[in-house]
Amino acid sequence: MGWKPLTAGEGTQGPQGPAGPQGPAGADGAAGTQGPQGPAGADGAAGAQGIQGIQGIQGIQGPQGNPGTPGADFLARLVLALDKPTAANTTPVTLGLSFNYEPDSKYVIDIYALVAPGAAGTGCGFMIDVSSAVTYVGTHVTHQLAATGTLSGASSIGDKAATLSGVSSGMPGTQSYPVIGGGILVTGANAGTAEFFFRSETTAVTTCKAGTIILVTKV
């Protein structure tokens, strides 16, 4: 049978029904595209310089080196290239060794000679000839006198031994003997040349041998 509409007036609204259950979650949306790269950032400011480190302690001093070889201050290094024999007399012969000296100067001379007498028992002497007047010039040498070890020496003083022409006593044999000595030259107002001479003690020929060395130092 059908409903008959109300005629007297409309009824009130009924209460809201309960909410229905939540539907299932929807599917994830697609990932968005990557945005464009942003501009590079500005360089950062330079950092401040660090403070200087503390200086290390000084190391200990190294050992002193060996002394240098003597000879750097020698004015002249004279070496006899050939044997220089005397004649059969006591006349001095030049060794052909010389050096130039200056006015008002002082020189020390070292003599390292090799001498071979022609006859055992013959001595020798060394002297200096100067070309101008000097305040002082002289030499002294020493060599073996006997096989037991005694020595003999000779001093020559003045220009070419004009004041004292000293000679040593004889050497034991006829081989070459070392004759060691020196000299002093104190010059005056004039420059000049000093030349070395050699003589025998007797009329026996005596030879100053090649390899004889004379060193001159200006003090």
Are the CB atoms for 204 and 115 separated by under 8 Å?
A: no
The closest of 123, 139, 159 to 214, measured between CA atoms, is 139
CB 207 within 8 A of CB 114: no
* CA–CA dist 195, 214 (Å, integer): 11
Q: Which of 20-24, 57-61, 86-90 has the lowest mean pLDDT?
A: 20-24
How does pLDDT run across 133-180, given as a tens digit for each residue?
999 999 999 999 988 879 999 999 999 999 999 999 989 999 999 999
What is the per-residue pLDDT for 126? 97
Domain ranges (residues) in the chain: 74-218
Rounded Cα distance, 219 and 169, in Å: 32
Q: Under CATH, which architecture does the 74-218 domain have? A: Sandwich (2.60)
On the question of pLDDT at 13 being above 50, the answer is: yes
